[in-house]
Structure 1
Amino acid sequence: MKRYFNFQLLLLLAVSLFMGSCNPNDDEGGPVFPEGSTESVNLWVQDSMRRYYYWADQMPAKPDYHLPVKDFFKSLLSAQDRFSFAVDTQDPSSYPRSVRNRYGFDYAVIQLANGDVVTTVKLVMKNSPAFNSGLQRGMMITKMNGKAITAANAEALTSSIKDQTVIELTVGNWKNGSVADEKNITVYYGYSFEQPLESKIFEKNGKKIGYLYIYDFPDGMTPALNQKFAAFKAAGVQQLILDLRYNYGGSVSSAAALCSLIPSGITASSPFIVYKGNKNGGEVKRTFAQQISYDPNALEFSLLQTNALDLNKVYVLTSNSTASASEIVINNLKPYLQVVQVGEVTLGKDMAGFLVEDKRKPKKISWQLHPVIYKVFNANGEGAYSNGISPQIAASEYTTLPLLPLGDSEESLISSAVNNIYSKSASKNDWEPGVRVLFQSDAPSAAIGK
C-alpha cells in the first residue's frame, strides 16, 4: 500500500499489516535534522505515533529528539501502555527477550503447603531447543547454571539467562513429595518451530468432550482449525474445552475463524469485533466473514460452518499468559454462547495493532514500531478488560505435582472443566489454598514485549 493514512482501509489488513512511512522532516514549521541522524529517526517515530498511536493525544508536545531512539520511543508512551515496543532490525539485542522465545520453555517457582519452594517446568514447546534437550513439562528444576533457585533469586536468574546463548539446568522428577533422579541438561539458544494444534476427545457416560490446545494464533491456521473441528464433529463431540493458558495471541483473523466454529446461530454477517482507534482511526466494525477473510489461508465462512459444533456453551482454560487474540476469543464469543472460564485471570491486553516500518526503497530507517493502535470490543460493545478477564471457576494448574501432560484428563485445569461438565461438582474455586505461585518466567515483568 503506497499511502498509509486511510485508517478504515488499513484495518482490513488487521494486525499483520506492514506500513510505510512519511518523510521524517515533512512537518511544516517543525524541526529539521540531517537525514540518517538519531534526531531524524526520532522525528519519524514521532510522526508515526501521532498518526496511529491510541493515546496520541497524550504524547508530549516537546519531546527530547536527542535521546537514543528506544528511549525516545518510550518517552512518547502513555502511562496506561504496557505493550508498545520498538526494535531496530539491524540490532538483534533490541528485540524482546524471554526464556520462551530464546529456549522454548517456561517455568514457575511455587511454595507448597508445607512451605517448601520448588521450580517446575510448565511449558515445553514442540521442536524447541528445550524439547530437543530432553526437557519435559512436569520436570523440576533445582539449579540454573549451578545456582540453586529460590524465591529471592528467581527473577534475577531469569533475567540473566535471557542474555545467554546456552544454559545448564539441573532437573529431576517429582516423586513422593521430593525431587529424584537429578541430572544435568544443556539447553542452547535457538529457534522454536510453529506449534501444532493438539486435540483429544474425552468420553464418559455417553458424553463426548473435545479438547483443543492452541499455543498461539498465527496467520494461516484456519485450515488446521477446520480440520480439527471436522474430526470433532465426525466423532459426535457435544462439549468443547479450549486450552489457551499459554496463548499470547496473534492474528485476530485466526481467532475469528476459531470463534466461527463453535456457537450456533451465527451467520457470515454476524458482528464479530469493533476496533476503536484515535481521532484518525475512529471506529471500525467487522463481521465474522469480514475478519476471517484477511487470513492469508482464509476459508469461506460457509465452508467453516459445515464443521461448526453449534454449541451453547464452551469451556476456556486460562492463565496470566492468556492475552490479546486469545482474550478476544473469550470476550467476543460471549454475545453468542455461555463462556465458562477455568483457571486464572488473563493478562488484560484489550487492544490490537500492526507493525509500522519504513517501506521506502531503499529503506532509510531500520526501526520497526509495534504500537497499541486500537482498543477492541465485542458485538455487544463489551471490552475494557485491561485488568484481565476473571474466570468463573478459579483453579491452579499447580494444585497437584508433578504437572501432567497437556491433554491428560487428570491434569488440574482440564479435570476442573471435565468435572463441571460431567457432574457439575467443580466448585467456583478449585484453587488449592496451600499453594502459592511466587514467580513465573512468563509473567508480564519477565516476558517483555509480547
Structure 2
Amino acid sequence: MKKYFNFPLFLLVTAFVFVWSCNNNDDENLPRFPEGSTESVNLWVQDSMRRYYYWADQMPAKPDYRLPVKDFFKSLLSSQDRFSFAVNTQDPSSYPRSVRNMYGFDYAVMQLANGNVVTAIKLVLKNSPAFNSGLERGMMITKINGKTITAANAEELTSSIKDQTVIELTVGNWKNGAVTDEKNIQVYYGYSLEQPVESKIFKKNGKKTGYLYIYDFPDGITPVLSQKFAAFKAAGVQELILDLRYNYGGSVSSAAALCALIPAGISASSSFITYKGNKNGGEVKRTFAQQITYDPNALDFNTLRANALGLNKVYILTSNSTASASEIVINNLKPYMQVIQIGDVTLGKDMAGFIVEDKRKPKKISWQLHPVIYKVFNANGEGEYSNGIMPQIAAGEYASLPLLPLGDPDETLVSSALGSIYSKSAGKDALDKSIKILFQSDTPSAAIGK
C-alpha cells in the first residue's frame, strides 16, 4: 500500500489573496516583547485581527499574551464565529484534521426505523487513499479497527479515525435490509488529488436536463466549467441540476464564473456580490466581471457567456455540507433567476476571508491566520444566512439504501430534482423522517477544529 504524507488544509472561502508584513510596534498602546517570543507572536496575531477580523470590536481589550499561540488566537474569537482558524506552517499537527481531508471519504451513522444502527459511506474522493483502498459510496462500515459500531459508541469510535494514520474498516454491501459480503480494508492517511467536475445529460419527453457535480471551487476551474457548459449548450440542454451537496466552498471567483454560465439577462456590469467588513474593511461591491478576474487563471466574463445556457430556473442539490462559495452560488443567483433548492439546509457560512501571514524576508513568524473578514450579500442586499439556507424541497439522501452513485437518476436527491422537472411530483418533499442521523464525519466547522 502506497502511503501519502501531505497535510491538506480546509480553507475558508477566498475572496481574494492577501498577504501582509506586519510591524508589531506600529501601535504605541501595545506592549513590547522580545522578538521571537510567544508573546511577540501573539501581539502580531492581535494586531492582525484588530485590522481585519469581522468581529474586531468584540475582541478582549486585555488578552493573555502568555497563552500558546493557537489558544491565544481562539481567545480573540467571537462566540458567533465557527470558522476562523490559525495554523503554524512549520507544524503539521496544527493543521485542521478531518476524515475527508486525511483519508478521502465521508460517512454517516444512522438509526433506521427498526432501531438498527448502520454506517454508510456517502462520499469517496477520486484518487484518494480511500479510493485506492477500494472503498465505494454505498458501502456500509460495520467495524472500525475490529470494534463494532453501535448507537452508544458511534460518535466516539468514528471520531477516533482522524487521530490515527492507518485504519482498518470492516465493510460490506447493503442487500435486503442487511450488510453482506463483509471484508476488511486498510486505509492509510494521505493525500487526495484534485476532484473532477462530473456531468451527464438526462433526456425524457423530448426535454434534456444537464447534471453537474462540483466537489469544490478551486481557482483555475473556469476552463473546465466553460467546457462542460459548451457541451450542454451544444446538446440542447433546457434544464440544469447542480449537485453541491458535498461542496465546502473555495474561491468566490470560481463560484462567480459558474454563476455567469447559468442565467439569462446578465452582463459584465451586473452586480454579483457585496462584502461587508469591520470599520477598516468597509463595504466592497463587485460585478460578475470584476469578481471573476480575481482568479488569475480564469476565462474572462465574455468568453464564459458565449457558453452560457441562459436559463430562468436552476435546481441545486444541497446538504449540511454545502458551505461558503457553494452557498454564495445559491444566494447570489437568486436576484437573476428562480433557484429551486433540493435536499437539506446548508451549513450557513455567510462570510468570506483571506489569508493573513508574515511576508517579510526573511519571514519571522510562521503562523498563518484564516479569519472571517467579511459577511457576503447578493445583488439585492440579501445575506445573513448563518443558520443555513433552507431548501424549497426537503429531501434526504438516506431515504433509500444502499446509497446509489452520484448522478444516478434513481439516487434520492437527483430523482427528486428529475421528478420536479419531468413529472407531477414537483414540489413534494422526499424526506424519510424515520431515519435518525446519529453522527456524520463531514461537518466543516468540526473539520477546522472549532
TM-score range with shorter-chain normalisation?
over 0.9
Rounded Cα–Cα distance in structure 2 between residues aligned with 1:427 and 1:262? 22
Say whether the 8 Å CA contact 1:211–1:407 is kept in structure 2. Answer: yes
Say whether the 8 Å CA contact 1:21–1:48 is kept in structure 2. Answer: no
Deviations 1:260-316 (A, max 9, x none): 000000000000000000000100100000001111211121111111000000000
Query: What's 1:182 paired with?
Result: 182
Rounded Cα–Cα distance in structure 1 between residues aligned with 2:142 and 2:217? 33
Rounded Cα–Cα distance in structure 1 between residues aligned with 2:255 and 2:79? 28
Query: What's 1:102 paired with?
Result: 102
Which residue identity does 1:198 align to in structure 2? E
Query: What's 1:424 paired with?
Result: 424
Give the SS at the match of 2:421: helix
Matches within 5 A, 1:144-293: 144-293=144-293
Say whether the 8 Å CA contact 2:85–2:370 is kept in structure 1. Answer: yes
Say whether the 8 Å CA contact 1:99–1:106 is kept in structure 2. Answer: yes
Question: Is 1:375 the counterpart of 2:366 in the alignment?
Answer: no
Give the SS at the match of 2:169: strand
TM-score relative to the length of structure 2: 0.96
Say whether the 8 Å CA contact 1:269–1:287 is kept in structure 2. Answer: yes
Which residue identity does 2:232 align to in structure 1? F
The CA deviation at 1:14 is 5.4
Which residue identity does 2:265 align to in structure 1? G
The CA deviation at 1:152 is 2.3
Give the SS at the match of 1:259: helix
Say whether the 8 Å CA contact 1:25–1:44 is kept in structure 2. Answer: no
Query: What's 1:116 paired with?
Result: 116
Say whether the 8 Å CA contact 2:144–2:158 is kept in structure 1. Answer: no
Rounded Cα–Cα distance in structure 2 between residues aligned with 1:240 and 1:199? 11
Rounded Cα–Cα distance in structure 2 between residues aligned with 1:240 and 1:273? 23
Query: What's 1:340 paired with?
Result: 340
Query: What's 2:25 paired with?
Result: 25
Query: What's 1:84 paired with?
Result: 84
The CA deviation at 1:446 is 4.0
The CA deviation at 1:16 is 4.4
Rounded Cα–Cα distance in structure 2 between residues aligned with 1:37 and 1:215? 41
Question: Is 1:314 the counterpart of 2:353 in the alignment?
Answer: no
Question: Is 1:365 the counterpart of 2:365 in the alignment?
Answer: yes
The CA deviation at 1:444 is 4.6
Give the SS at the match of 2:15: helix
Rounded Cα–Cα distance in structure 2 between residues aligned with 1:22 and 1:193? 34
Which residue identity does 1:406 align to in structure 2? L
Rounded Cα–Cα distance in structure 2 between residues aligned with 1:426 and 1:182? 39
Give the SS at the match of 2:25: coil
Give the SS at the match of 2:45: helix
The CA deviation at 1:116 is 1.0
The CA deviation at 1:424 is 3.5
Which residue identity does 1:380 align to in structure 2? N
Rounded Cα–Cα distance in structure 1 between residues aligned with 2:76 and 2:440? 29
Give the SS at the match of 2:447: coil
Rounded Cα–Cα distance in structure 1 between residues aligned with 2:445 and 2:357? 26
Say whether the 8 Å CA contact 1:145–1:168 is kept in structure 2. Answer: yes
Question: Is 1:39 the counterpart of 2:72 in the alignment?
Answer: no
The CA deviation at 1:154 is 2.1
Say whether the 8 Å CA contact 2:312–2:338 is kept in structure 1. Answer: yes
Question: Is 1:325 the counterpart of 2:325 in the alignment?
Answer: yes
Rounded Cα–Cα distance in structure 1 between residues aligned with 2:57 and 2:29? 19
Rounded Cα–Cα distance in structure 2 between residues aligned with 1:287 and 1:178? 53
Say whether the 8 Å CA contact 1:108–1:437 is kept in structure 2. Answer: yes
Rounded Cα–Cα distance in structure 2 between residues aligned with 1:388 and 1:306? 33
Deviations 1:104-132 (A, max 9, x none): 00000111121111000000000000000
The CA deviation at 1:371 is 0.1
The CA deviation at 1:18 is 3.7
Could you say if the C-alpha distance between residues 65 and 282 of structure 1 is closer, same or farther in structure 2, counting changes exceeding 3 Å? same
Say whether the 8 Å CA contact 1:358–1:365 is kept in structure 2. Answer: yes
Q: Give the paired residue count.
A: 438
Give the SS at the match of 1:430: coil
Query: What's 2:354 paired with?
Result: 354
Could you say if the C-alpha distance between residues 15 and 158 of structure 1 is closer, same or farther in structure 2, counting changes exceeding 3 Å? farther
Query: What's 2:297 paired with?
Result: 297
Rounded Cα–Cα distance in structure 1 between residues aligned with 2:154 and 2:274? 40
Rounded Cα–Cα distance in structure 2 between residues aligned with 1:423 and 1:405? 22
Give the SS at the match of 1:193: coil
Rounded Cα–Cα distance in structure 2 between residues aligned with 1:230 and 1:152? 51
Which residue identity does 1:132 align to in structure 2? N
Rounded Cα–Cα distance in structure 1 between residues aligned with 2:301 and 2:427? 37
Say whether the 8 Å CA contact 2:85–2:448 is kept in structure 1. Answer: no
Rounded Cα–Cα distance in structure 1 between residues aligned with 2:371 and 2:114? 45
Rounded Cα–Cα distance in structure 1 between residues aligned with 2:226 and 2:444? 32
The CA deviation at 1:25 is 3.0
Which residue identity does 2:48 align to in structure 1? S
Give the SS at the match of 2:196: coil
Rounded Cα–Cα distance in structure 1 between residues aligned with 2:115 and 2:175? 17
Say whether the 8 Å CA contact 2:110–2:436 is kept in structure 1. Answer: yes
Question: Is 1:405 the counterpart of 2:405 in the alignment?
Answer: yes
Give the SS at the match of 2:181: strand
Cα-Cα RMSD: 1.3
Deviations 1:2-33 (A, max 9, x none): xxxxxxxxxxx953414113122332132110
- Quick one: percent identity of the two aligned structures? 83
Rounded Cα–Cα distance in structure 1 between residues aligned with 2:200 and 2:248? 22
Rounded Cα–Cα distance in structure 2 between residues aligned with 1:383 and 1:241? 23
Could you say if the C-alpha distance between residues 398 and 102 of structure 1 is closer, same or farther in structure 2, counting changes exceeding 3 Å? same
Which residue identity does 1:150 align to in structure 2? T
Could you say if the C-alpha distance between residues 152 and 18 of structure 1 is closer, same or farther in structure 2, counting changes exceeding 3 Å? farther
Structure 1 stretch 106-115 or stretch 223-232: which is displaced more?
106-115
Which residue identity does 2:336 align to in structure 1? Y
Give the SS at the match of 1:364: coil
Say whether the 8 Å CA contact 1:349–1:385 is kept in structure 2. Answer: yes
Could you say if the C-alpha distance between residues 14 and 431 of structure 1 is closer, same or farther in structure 2, counting changes exceeding 3 Å? closer
Which residue identity does 1:147 align to in structure 2? K
Which residue identity does 1:178 align to in structure 2? A
